[in-house]
Amino acid sequence: MGKLLQNILSYGFGAAMLASSASAFADDTFDLLGQYETVEAMGSGWNLGNTLEANSNGTPNETVWGNPQASSALMKLIKNSGFNTIRIPVSYLSKIGSAPDYKIDAAWLSRVKEVVDMALAEDLYVITNIHGDGYHGVTGGWLLCDAQNQTEIKAKFKAVWQQIATTFKDYDEHLIFESMNEVFDGTYEWQNPGVPYPNAGYYQNINDYNQIFVETVRPISLNNAKRWLLIPGWNTDIDLTSEAKGFKIPEDKYVDRSTSGKRLMISVHYYAPWDLCGDDTDEGVTRWGDEAWRQNSSKCTTYGQGANSESTMSGQFDKLKSWFTSQGYPVVVGEYGTVDKTSYDAENSKYTAYWTKTLCENARRVGAVPVLWDNGHLSTAKGFATINRATNTVGRTYIVDAINEAFDQEIEIDTTAAKTKLELITSYIVNLSVDGAKENPIFKCQYSGWDEISKEISNTAKNVDVDLSPASKKDGFTNLGYLVYTNDSLYSVNINKITINGYEFTNPIVKKKLSAAQYNNALPNIWSGNDGEYLSDNGRAILSISANTISLMLKLDGESSSVEEVDAIAANIVPVDGGIAVLGAEGETVEVYSMLGTIVSKTVATDFVTSVKLHDGAYIVKVGNKTYRVIVR
């Protein structure tokens, strides 16, 4: 009998033995979101910390560490606060029975499932793991990479994941499994100077755990074969979760071959500098960032300016991009956060909010999902909490605001509605007539570089085409104004039709009217410096001015679209046929990154309109020092 068939049969036996009741979230459908789509959908996340991983002398107990039971109301608050993902840490410890079955207590596994279901009911992505079982400091901790009984440990680890993965075997892509949490030998490099670190043998055990995890979960069901699985390295440390230090990404040989790309994620944590982020007893370290160091370095980390610098943080995320996201592996920053030290320094909230926002911006930049650590304690006693679970309200609003601000500045442009074609105006013909002038009036058009085109019009002219096209087809209009004058102002100029780049405005609708001075013009004077939308043709085409430039936007797919839909653009980035256009960025560097972190396009904008050709997908667009999220469909 082949090895694969043996494995499948053994997993099938486990499935029969551990069959759970049907769930409202079991689904025959599974949306195979790719790497960047998944990161996009997961957004920012929050940890249900110190709850299902809480224990008393090795016995898991949901409320023993001072938090109330998880509730549907809490899940709703998390969703409404702007989070799209929740990480649910779970300890099993004494809830695991003896060898050889290592059966999980049914009531405990049922409670885990109940909490997961509550989160899924709010349309949250859910990460669940084996959390505290690998801690040396926890009574009953058994997932110890430095222990001698590795054969037993690995058999137990396999059995536990077999049961968890069976319980959730039919859940869709919103559920993600994380193999373990912060597993290492409990020592740090500084404790044993000169000794190779991490210990290679112990690291190999961690790699083995991850390989067992993947090979156990995948064959249990078709959905598990497609599911994203989250893989940590040594203590989830960024620098130590690298091939150079011994980390190995598991072989994913049982993944569903109908999937495209990889289906493994990498798990890391970020609490740097620790004396700011986690040491609640250090009253002096309350601020972070380059500006904080310049103003008062005595309130910043004792590890030095380098540890405090924003470039250090961005450098750590650059490693994640280089090692993982650019190679097709999404990254989940499964824990990050700062304790509350506002009782020591009223300015602490300002600087921890800035730290939080900067971290989230870096995560978005490299294609990672940041998941805030919250342990439920709203105080300086290890006060990582942001949510007040006793009242189901937001406690540290400045942290939530910082996260949302980091995500809000990335503006999604959904082009599923009618696409538009944005053009500089290179041809501009006005059909007009003049009534009542005693002399032949002059019609002037002001355009690129303040040059003018002047046209003399007979005072008896009717339906005359006046070609006001700019001399430079490359530049188009950067300024536009009308000036009609004569020695006698008692006349009217009638604009009958306007043809722009071959498109006829035969039924012009003035959307924003400017003063036409003393002249009775059917079309108002349009002068540079007055931004806005001026003319539309039943919503199918718009003549608009932005940053002293006039441009034409044409609807490409019929009459049904409204002006509002066309104008639903943000940050001067607009969807156009074949990609996007960035408006008003002259002199700025425009960079476009895929959600894998690889650069797609880089240019310096020399004109008002900078076009970038893009295929359908999600991108990060940097315009100068501003960052936006763009989806092209």
For the chain, give the percent of residues with pLDDT over 90.
53
pLDDT (0 to 100) of residue 605: 82
- pLDDT number for residue 383: 86
**88 forms bridges with which residues in the sheet?**
128
Residue among 574, 563, 577, 529 at smallest CA distance from 549: 529
Coil, helix or strand for 541? strand
CA angle 402, 404, 410 (to 5 degrees): 115
According to the model, what pLDDT value does residue 516 have?
35
Q: What is the pLDDT of residue 397?
A: 95
Distance CA 206, CA 34 (A): 27
Q: Residue 100 burial (CB < 10 Å; 0-12/13-18/19+)?
A: exposed
Identify the pLDDT of residue 558. 38
| Token output for 585 | 């960025």
Q: Is the dihedral of CA 495, 500, 504, 509 positive or negative?
A: negative
Q: b/e map of 210-240 (b: 16 or more CB within 10 Å)?
A: bbbbbbbbbbbbebbbbbbbbbbbbbbbbeb
Q: What pLDDT shows up at residue 420?
A: 47
- DSSP letter for each residue of 322-350: HHTGGGT--EEEEEE-----TTT-TTHHH
Just give the CATH number of 3-270. 3.20.20.80
Which pair of structure tokens corresponds to residue 193? 């100077």
77 to 7, 25, 114: CA distances (angstroms): 42, 20, 17
The reported pLDDT for the residue numbered 2 is 33
Listed in sequence order, the residues at least 6 apart from 565 whose beta carbon sits closer than 8 Å to its beta carbon are 417, 418, 539
Going from N- to C-terminal start, the domains of the chain cover 3-270, 421-570
Task: Give 131's contacts (C-beta < 8 A, 6+ positions apart).
Answer: 52, 53, 89, 90, 91, 180, 181
Task: Please answer whether residues 544 and 584 qualify as being in contact, where contact means their C-beta atoms are separated by less than 8 angstroms.
Answer: no
Low-confidence ranges of the chain (pLDDT < 70): 1-24, 26-28, 380-381, 409-426, 436-461, 468-495, 505-572, 574-577, 584, 595-598, 607-608, 633
629, 364 in Cβ contact below 8 A?
yes
Catalytic annotation, residues: 182, 335
Given this model, what pLDDT does residue 489 score?
54
| pLDDT value, residue 35 | 87
User: What would the two tokens of residue 147 be?
Assistant: 């222990």
Specify the pairing of strand 492-500 against strand 520-521.
Answer: parallel
How far, in Å, CA of 480 to CA of 160, rounded?
Answer: 71
Look at residue 330 in the predicted model and tell me its pLDDT: 94
**Token pair for 430:** 């006005």
